[in-house]
Amino acid sequence: MENRAVPRFWREIPQRYSIIGNQCGACKKFYFPPRESCPYCRRKSIDKMETKKLKGKGKVVTYSIVHDAPDQFEGQAPYPIAIIELDEGPHLTAQIVDCNVDDIKIGMKVESTFRKIQEDGYMGAIYYGYKFKPVG
Amino acid sequence: MRDVAIIGKGVTKFGELWDKSFRQLITETGAKAILEAGVSGTEIDALYIGSMGSGRFIGQEHIGALVADCSGFSHLHIPSTRVESACASGGLAVRQGYFSVASGINDIVVVGGIEKMTDVVGTEATSTLATVADQEWEAFFGATFPGLYAMIATKHMKDYGTTREQLAQVAVKNHANGALNPNAQFKREISLDAVINAPPVAYPLGMLDCSPVSDGAATVILCAAEKAKKYVDNPVKIIASGQASDTLALHGRREICTFDSTVYAAKMAYKQANLKPKDIDVAEVHDCFTIAEILAIEDLGFVKKGEGGKAIENKITTLDGEIPVNTSGGLKAKGHPIGATGVAQIAEIVAQIQGKADKRQIKNAKIGLTHNIGGTGASCVVHILEAM
Amino acid sequence: MKRVGIVSYGVHIPRFRIKSADIAVAWGKDPQTIANGLGIIEKSVPSLDQDVATISVEAARAALSRCNINPQDIGAVYVGSESHPYAVKPTGTIVGEAIGATPGLMVADYEFACKAGTAAIQSCMSMVRAEMITYGLAIGADTSQASPGDALEYAASAGGAAFIIGKDKIIATINDTYSFTTDTPDFWRREGRKYPAHGGRFTGAPAYFRHITSSANYLMERVGTKPDDYTYAVFHQPNGKFPLKVAKILGFSKEQVQQGLLCPMIGNTYSGASMVGLASVLDVAKPGDRVFLTSYGSGAGSDSFDITVTEQISEFSRKKAPLVSQFMENKEYIDYSTYAKYRDLLYWE
């Protein structure tokens, strides 16, 4: 029976549920997940990072189909995993759903959807978050 | 800063070593290396140990102290440091040992690398291996470690036309080399078809595109170059050490198909040695997956970006090619006990330069390079070695 | 009394479908007899990563996308289901967080078999009328389970709808509501058990039909209407036959019921059923249309609603989220073995 630290994943609920990142007040670059400061503006950005909810729209940069999955994802395999570039700039890694694996293309437009990501076994907490589906 | 040489090496067999414990493996290689170097225990100034996941694999931390103890050095109370940088733990341990001798602080140090991955079941081993990726933002969402490299392969195939066959060819070549290496985990050749038709792990990579889960250890003895010939006739000099980092998550990189950490670590090393890629005679690179070797030969500057696939196909990197890569069999055939790999790479290049690589020996190996990567390229350590 | 009604609505129905014929074949039954008897061709199936929380969030987000309200002005979220992901830990807080309505928010989860969602509507109505909240979000959603091989397996499906209840810019006024409730054990699921049990034919006349007809007749009498006064009627739909039968008993025509009758193609979405039916009606309704809705929840009770569509619906941005008809068309078939894996019928560790 796993008993992973619930606080660790609770802290990231705004990010996983609503793709909330931040924006550097100095150079206006967007970050996801949010950063304490902008790596490029460094001290100029301290206390200037603004929380921002990202739209959850983007395109596929690259992808793979995972066949050999860890326990938490076993029933779902094979499933597509992709690096997605959000419209605002940041990249993230997420599963692609509602799509035939043969139809996934680099450059494909996608939007976020709210799904169950994994759970801590039958007795543990359920973790929800983003997956992406093709637009239209 | 003074020059540093390698005066001894020892590598265990790599594989599923059910009979050997973590403690037994490290002492086995330590003993081999010390005997080869002809140093006495009291001459050793410090230990550096590369080991990535002992906490999860064998439930043991405090590895520095453990290794000093197993090696019989505790009563001498010598300093012992564990170094971790995911799969580059071994290479980084070498670099730490190198600094301590180059700076004049130590004269002789023992650098070991070790991993014991089979004391846990397979799924636990793969999930521990996956801790080298970004746990919160990659692994949590279902990205597996092979899945991450597979995404690099998908993009490399799209952007540069690299083919499935070219990827597979890396495994074929490395198995051919591994067949000549008595310590390799896999001593059998495999065919291109076998690689392409192997069970899928993460498209486009299959089981034979992936390095295995392995146990093993490797040790090298570093010595101030000015004192090296006191111990052995054929010391090998470390003429450069480079290191670089990059974003933990693959999705944070500037470019998916280039490991900037390799580019920068190599740049640092080439600069220190005042050499160019074409000056390298032989290289041990980090082929945790077939695509990783293709990226490595591009990012180290052996071939242009995007031409790694063609290079493999044109057999540029075979034992009798222009620039032999992974004469040991690489991570794929030799095995990949995570912390040991970086140190084993050094041992292989030393053997090549000393002319001691038996059936794997390449002609005129004067200058060799090792390339050790952590995770999906978040860290990289490069060393250049030369005959003294 | 202040006018209270529906400000916006949203729906979510998972993509996968399994044909009742394929379920029948798995259990050695005749596919045609089953399909004809139950009036169900196929039903929706949730994938492994979908549950009542994900369906509720998607439906709530859809509702929000169609109107301009600030989620912080939603004062209450009530999610009705009989397949909440947790027995203890509300689905409503997950929804509240995901739509940005927290932390100033009243939340509780509801259970009343298939009418938990309409009960939530009634609560929101009263809180809005009492001016305790500006907007209330009532959700009915389920990923209902049925015992493998049982008759209910053909119908138990997945889906949900979210309704934002308020006073301003309402697209449909809820003129009145009434509930007819008795302690009737026609269908239940014991604590800790995975599958429900039911009383067979007892679920018909003394349960479904008695409560729906009693509630409907009482409300129409109180409001002073007859079936002819309504453009549309929506009834709870445990199969494709019951709603048509109860409509006939009450005096509604097949045409009135058609738009809101989705069971034949998506099965019974339990707490979602009547509400998704209502959403389907609102997808096409015009100003002035009158809608009669009666849900049914085993145990047992019916909630009836007398609804009038307002002028505001002409300005309502339906297109901002998929219509029920689009969900009906967006489908992918799976076979029984995949279905068994998704519905966790094969226990594995």
pLDDT of residue B124: 87
Number of domains in chain C: 2
For residue C27, give the 3-state DSSP assignment: coil
Residue C85 to residue A18, Cβ atoms within 8 A? no
Is the pLDDT at C1 greater than 60, yes or no?
A: no
Same domain, residue pair B67 and B183: no
- Percent of chain A that is helix, strand, coil (3-state, to 5): 20, 40, 40
The model's confidence at residue A8, banded by pLDDT at 50, 70 and 90, is confident
Work out the minimum CA distance from A73 to partner chain B, whole angstroms.
7
Same domain, residue pair A102 and A135: yes
Q: Is residue C348, in this structure, part of any structural domain at all?
A: no
Residue B137 to residue A65, Cβ atoms within 8 A? no
Could you list the active site residues of B?
87, 336
pLDDT of residue A6: 86
Same domain, residue pair C12 and C143: yes
- Whether the CB-CB separation of C250 and C210 falls below 8 Å is answered with no
Q: Residue B89 is part of which domain span?
A: 4-121+214-236
Residue C94 to residue A116, Cβ atoms within 8 A? no
Dihedral angle computed from the Cα positions of residues B117, B118, B123 and B124, in that order, rounded to the nearest 10 degrees? -60
pLDDT of residue C343: 86
Question: Which chains are within 8 Å of C by 3+ CB pairs?
Answer: A
Work out the minimum CA distance from C168 to partner chain A, whole angstroms.
27
pLDDT tens per residue across span C5-27? 999 999 999 999 999 999 999 99
A118 touches chain B (CB under 8 A): yes
Same domain, residue pair B350 and B365: yes
Mean pLDDT, rounded, for B249-268:
98
Report how many Cβ contacts below 8 Å link chain A to chain C: 47
Same domain, residue pair C258 and C335: no
ipTM of the complex: 0.94
Which residues of A are less than 8 Å from B155 in CB distance? 61-62, 106
Q: Residue A44 is part of which domain span?
A: 20-53
The model's confidence at residue C346, banded by pLDDT at 50, 70 and 90, is confident
Same domain, residue pair B144 and B287: yes
The model's confidence at residue A123, banded by pLDDT at 50, 70 and 90, is confident
Same domain, residue pair C159 and C211: no
pLDDT of residue A2: 53
Is the pLDDT at C2 greater than 90, yes or no?
A: no
Which residues of B are less than 8 Å from A20 in CB distance? none
The model's confidence at residue B39, banded by pLDDT at 50, 70 and 90, is very high
Same domain, residue pair B52 and B109: yes
Nearest Cα residue in chain B from A33: B137
State how far the Cα of B47 lies from the Cα of B379, in Å rounded to an integer. 22
Same domain, residue pair B151 and B279: yes
The model's confidence at residue B316, banded by pLDDT at 50, 70 and 90, is very high
Residue C85 to residue A126, Cβ atoms within 8 A? yes
Q: What letter would DSSP give residue C204?
A: I
Residue A70 to residue B126, Cβ atoms within 8 A? yes
* CATH of residue C206: 3.40.47.10
Same domain, residue pair B282 and B381: yes
Residue A93 to residue B138, Cβ atoms within 8 A? yes
Same domain, residue pair B36 and B18: yes
pLDDT tens per residue across span C273-289? 999 999 999 999 999 99
Residue A64 to residue B153, Cβ atoms within 8 A? yes
Same domain, residue pair C34 and C161: yes
Q: Any long-range contacts for B97-100 (C-beta under 8 Å, 24+ apart)?
A: B97/B46, B97/B48, B97/B222, B98/B4, B98/B222, B98/B238, B98/B241, B98/B383, B99/B241, B100/B45, B100/B46, B100/B48
Same domain, residue pair C236 and C149: no
Same domain, residue pair A114 and A84: yes
* CATH of residue B24: 3.40.47.10
pLDDT of residue C344: 80
- Whether the CB-CB separation of C211 and C298 falls below 8 Å is answered with no
Q: What letter would DSSP give residue B103?
A: T
Burial label, B159 (beta-carbon count in 10 A; 0-12, 13-18, 19+)? middle
Closest to B256 (Cβ–Cβ): which among A62, A68, A118?
A62
pLDDT tens per residue across span C214-257? 999 999 999 999 999 999 999 999 999 999 999 999 999 999 99
Q: How many CB atoms lie within 10 A of CB B191?
A: 13
Lowest mean pLDDT among B114-128, B322-336, C67-81, C82-96: B114-128
Same domain, residue pair A60 and A120: yes
pLDDT of residue A72: 87
Mean pLDDT, rounded, for B3-30:
96
Same domain, residue pair A28 and A91: no
Could you list the active site residues of C?
82, 114, 236
* End residue of a domain, out of B184, B201, B236: B236
The model's confidence at residue A1, banded by pLDDT at 50, 70 and 90, is very low
Same domain, residue pair C158 and C216: no
Same domain, residue pair A65 and A36: no
State how far the Cα of B370 lies from the Cα of B326, in Å rounded to an integer. 9
State how far the Cα of B239 lies from the Cα of C346, in Å rounded to an integer. 61
Which residues of B are less than 8 Å from A89 in CB distance? none
Closest to B144 (Cβ–Cβ): which among A9, A70, A130?
A70
Q: Residue C233 is part of which domain span?
A: 176-312
Residue found under tokens 């449909």? C172
Q: Is residue C113, in this structure, part of any structural domain at all?
A: yes
Its sign, for the CA torsion A56, A60, A64, A67, is positive
State how far the Cα of A133 lies from the Cα of C105, in Å rounded to an integer. 30
Same domain, residue pair A45 and A59: no
Tokens of C242: 């019951």
Percent of chain B with pLDDT over 70: 100
Nearest Cα residue in chain C from A100: C332
Is the pLDDT at B285 greater than 90, yes or no?
A: yes
- Whether the CB-CB separation of C215 and C235 falls below 8 Å is answered with no
Same domain, residue pair A44 and A104: no
pLDDT tens per residue across span C74-120? 999 999 999 999 999 999 999 999 999 999 999 999 999 999 999 99
